[in-house]
Amino acid sequence: MLPRLTALARQAIPRLLEGVVAPLAVFYTALMILGETGALIAAVSWVYLGVGWRLVRKVRVPATMFLAAVAITARALVALWTGNNAVFFLTPEFGTICISMIFLASVRLNRPMVQKLTLDYIHLPQAVLKHERMRRFFARITLLWAFVLMANSTVSIWLFLNESIGAYMLLRTSAVAAISGFAITFSLWTFKRVLRRLSHAPA
């Protein structure tokens, strides 16, 4: 029996809050109170605290947390090594470009990254995962997100090089939200469509 989207949402929302919303809240709160260096240390500490807490409790660490740990570690090392605040804003974009390359490679290896990340948030039956339609869905959506990540980083770098820091923060947030919002909406609509077709397919 296929899971309902509402049930999938109940599984995903708490993990999204922990893995996406909370780190952003920690970073910007520390930025206002402690400055850029303090915000960087707080963000790194949050990610590794989450990984360590799961390891101590012997709970599986989601792939998203490993990706976040790798990205934020690289960002912290480069920022501290150069002592340049500009690098603080640009290094995440280079990390995102690297992740987009990983997404493309995962499709080539027939192990689409979106499938791995999805299973970190929700549970899908093995029969569903092995279905050809679902395999095609994950491959195509992984390709979509590879290009979305590349587009977000390209726009962000261009804005940083051509705008003031204030304008960069405002325009980047708006552009990334628009591009990612479209991709999320399309991904969810396609996912729902595939699930609906599978639910009506013969066993």
Q: pLDDT of 130-158, one tens digit each?
A: 777 888 888 899 999 999 999 999 998 99
Residue spans of the chain under pLDDT 50 = 1-2
Q: Note the helical H segments in 122-164.
A: 126-129, 132-162
Written as six digits, the tokens of 66 are: 């490993």
Reduced to 3 states, what is the DSSP secondary structure of residue 123? coil
